[in-house]
Amino acid sequence: KCVGPLEVSPAVWREAAEAWEELDAEEVGRMRVAERNRILKRVELGEKTKRRAGDLAARHRLGAGESEVLALAHVGDRVILDEDRATAVAKTLGLSPIRTLRIPVLGAARGSISRPAAMEMLHRLALVSSAPSDLVMELERLLGSYPR
Protein backbone atom coordinates (compact mmCIF):
# COMPACT_ATOMS: atom_id res chain seq x y z
CA LYS A 1 0.00 0.00 0.00
CA CYS A 2 2.89 2.36 0.74
CA VAL A 3 5.11 1.60 -2.25
CA GLY A 4 3.00 -0.51 -4.59
CA PRO A 5 3.16 -4.21 -5.50
CA LEU A 6 6.25 -5.93 -4.09
CA GLU A 7 7.95 -9.18 -4.97
CA VAL A 8 9.11 -10.99 -1.85
CA SER A 9 11.82 -13.66 -1.87
CA PRO A 10 11.45 -16.82 0.23
CA ALA A 11 14.06 -15.72 2.81
CA VAL A 12 12.55 -12.24 3.14
CA TRP A 13 9.10 -13.74 3.72
CA ARG A 14 10.48 -16.05 6.41
CA GLU A 15 12.49 -13.26 8.06
CA ALA A 16 9.59 -10.79 8.07
CA ALA A 17 6.95 -13.25 9.23
CA GLU A 18 9.20 -14.62 11.98
CA ALA A 19 10.19 -11.15 13.21
CA TRP A 20 6.55 -10.03 13.44
CA GLU A 21 5.41 -13.33 14.98
CA GLU A 22 7.99 -12.92 17.76
CA LEU A 23 6.23 -9.67 18.67
CA ASP A 24 2.86 -11.40 18.39
CA ALA A 25 2.05 -8.68 15.91
CA GLU A 26 -0.97 -8.29 13.69
CA GLU A 27 1.38 -7.47 10.81
CA VAL A 28 1.63 -11.19 9.94
CA GLY A 29 -2.09 -11.18 9.20
CA ARG A 30 -1.69 -7.96 7.25
CA MET A 31 1.06 -9.58 5.18
CA ARG A 32 -1.24 -12.45 4.31
CA VAL A 33 -4.04 -10.03 3.36
CA ALA A 34 -1.57 -8.05 1.23
CA GLU A 35 -0.57 -11.27 -0.50
CA ARG A 36 -4.21 -12.16 -1.21
CA ASN A 37 -4.75 -8.62 -2.56
CA ARG A 38 -1.65 -8.97 -4.76
CA ILE A 39 0.20 -6.16 -3.00
CA LEU A 40 2.83 -8.72 -1.99
CA LYS A 41 3.83 -11.48 -4.35
CA ARG A 42 6.00 -14.32 -3.10
CA VAL A 43 8.47 -15.41 -5.75
CA GLU A 44 10.54 -18.56 -6.00
CA LEU A 45 14.19 -18.54 -6.98
CA GLY A 46 15.43 -20.50 -9.96
CA GLU A 47 18.74 -22.35 -9.72
CA LYS A 48 20.69 -19.55 -11.42
CA THR A 49 19.24 -16.95 -9.03
CA LYS A 50 19.96 -19.19 -6.03
CA ARG A 51 23.61 -19.50 -7.12
CA ARG A 52 23.85 -15.73 -7.63
CA ALA A 53 22.31 -15.10 -4.19
CA GLY A 54 24.80 -17.51 -2.61
CA ASP A 55 27.69 -15.80 -4.38
CA LEU A 56 26.52 -12.33 -3.28
CA ALA A 57 26.05 -13.55 0.30
CA ALA A 58 29.53 -15.05 0.47
CA ARG A 59 31.33 -12.24 -1.34
CA HIS A 60 29.70 -9.41 0.60
CA ARG A 61 28.79 -11.14 3.89
CA LEU A 62 25.06 -10.61 3.42
CA GLY A 63 22.12 -12.41 4.96
CA ALA A 64 19.87 -14.70 2.96
CA GLY A 65 17.11 -12.10 2.54
CA GLU A 66 19.39 -9.33 1.31
CA SER A 67 21.28 -11.60 -1.07
CA GLU A 68 18.05 -12.98 -2.56
CA VAL A 69 16.63 -9.48 -3.08
CA LEU A 70 19.81 -8.40 -4.87
CA ALA A 71 19.95 -11.58 -6.95
CA LEU A 72 16.36 -11.11 -8.15
CA ALA A 73 16.78 -7.44 -9.10
CA HIS A 74 17.82 -5.95 -12.43
CA VAL A 75 19.79 -2.77 -13.11
CA GLY A 76 17.61 0.24 -12.33
CA ASP A 77 15.21 -1.65 -10.06
CA ARG A 78 14.22 -0.24 -6.67
CA VAL A 79 14.94 -2.65 -3.83
CA ILE A 80 13.94 -2.49 -0.18
CA LEU A 81 16.80 -3.27 2.20
CA ASP A 82 17.52 -2.59 5.84
CA GLU A 83 21.25 -3.18 6.16
CA ASP A 84 23.93 -0.65 5.25
CA ARG A 85 26.21 -3.26 3.66
CA ALA A 86 23.39 -4.53 1.41
CA THR A 87 22.50 -0.95 0.47
CA ALA A 88 26.10 -0.29 -0.60
CA VAL A 89 26.19 -3.51 -2.66
CA ALA A 90 22.87 -2.59 -4.29
CA LYS A 91 24.31 0.71 -5.46
CA THR A 92 27.34 -1.03 -7.00
CA LEU A 93 24.94 -3.31 -8.89
CA GLY A 94 23.09 -0.32 -10.37
CA LEU A 95 20.04 -0.70 -8.15
CA SER A 96 18.13 1.99 -6.23
CA PRO A 97 17.93 0.91 -2.58
CA ILE A 98 15.20 2.10 -0.21
CA ARG A 99 15.63 1.50 3.52
CA THR A 100 12.81 -0.49 5.08
CA LEU A 101 12.16 2.25 7.63
CA ARG A 102 11.37 4.71 4.83
CA ILE A 103 8.35 2.72 3.66
CA PRO A 104 5.89 4.36 6.09
CA VAL A 105 7.29 7.78 5.17
CA LEU A 106 6.74 7.05 1.48
CA GLY A 107 3.21 5.86 2.24
CA ALA A 108 2.39 9.04 4.15
CA ALA A 109 3.93 11.21 1.42
CA ARG A 110 1.79 9.48 -1.22
CA GLY A 111 -1.31 9.75 0.97
CA SER A 112 -1.64 5.95 1.03
CA ILE A 113 -1.67 5.87 4.84
CA SER A 114 -2.31 8.48 7.49
CA ARG A 115 0.51 10.17 9.38
CA PRO A 116 -0.46 8.47 12.69
CA ALA A 117 -0.55 5.07 10.97
CA ALA A 118 2.82 5.77 9.35
CA MET A 119 4.31 6.79 12.70
CA GLU A 120 3.03 3.58 14.31
CA MET A 121 4.43 1.51 11.44
CA LEU A 122 7.78 3.31 11.71
CA HIS A 123 8.01 2.50 15.43
CA ARG A 124 7.05 -1.14 14.90
CA LEU A 125 9.63 -1.52 12.13
CA ALA A 126 12.26 0.14 14.31
CA LEU A 127 11.64 -2.51 16.97
CA VAL A 128 12.58 -5.37 14.65
CA SER A 129 15.38 -3.67 12.72
CA SER A 130 18.89 -2.62 13.55
CA ALA A 131 18.24 0.97 12.52
CA PRO A 132 20.23 3.65 14.31
CA SER A 133 18.15 5.88 16.59
CA ASP A 134 19.22 9.03 14.73
CA LEU A 135 17.65 7.65 11.54
CA VAL A 136 14.41 6.85 13.38
CA MET A 137 14.32 10.38 14.83
CA GLU A 138 14.99 11.91 11.40
CA LEU A 139 12.09 9.95 9.92
CA GLU A 140 9.83 10.93 12.84
CA ARG A 141 10.58 14.60 12.13
CA LEU A 142 9.90 14.09 8.44
CA LEU A 143 6.58 12.37 9.18
CA GLY A 144 5.65 15.20 11.54
CA SER A 145 5.85 17.62 8.64
CA TYR A 146 3.11 15.84 6.63
CA PRO A 147 -0.58 16.64 6.99
CA ARG A 148 -2.61 14.26 9.12
**pLDDT tens over the chain, length 148 residues:** 556 678 889 998 888 777 677 666 677 777 778 888 888 888 999 999 999 999 999 999 999 999 999 999 999 999 988 778 899 999 999 999 988 888 888 888 888 888 888 898 888 888 777 778 888 899 999 888 876 6
**Residue 108, Cβ density class (10 Å: 0-12 exposed, 13-18 middle, ≥19 buried):** buried
How do beta strands 78-81 and 96-99 pair?
parallel
Nearest residue to 139 via CA among 128, 120, 92, 1: 120
Secondary structure (3-state) at 94: coil
- Residue 6's DSSP bridge partners are 40
Read off the pTM.
0.78
Res 76: pLDDT: 93
First to last CA, the chain: 17
Question: What 8-state DSSP symbol labels residue 92?
Answer: H
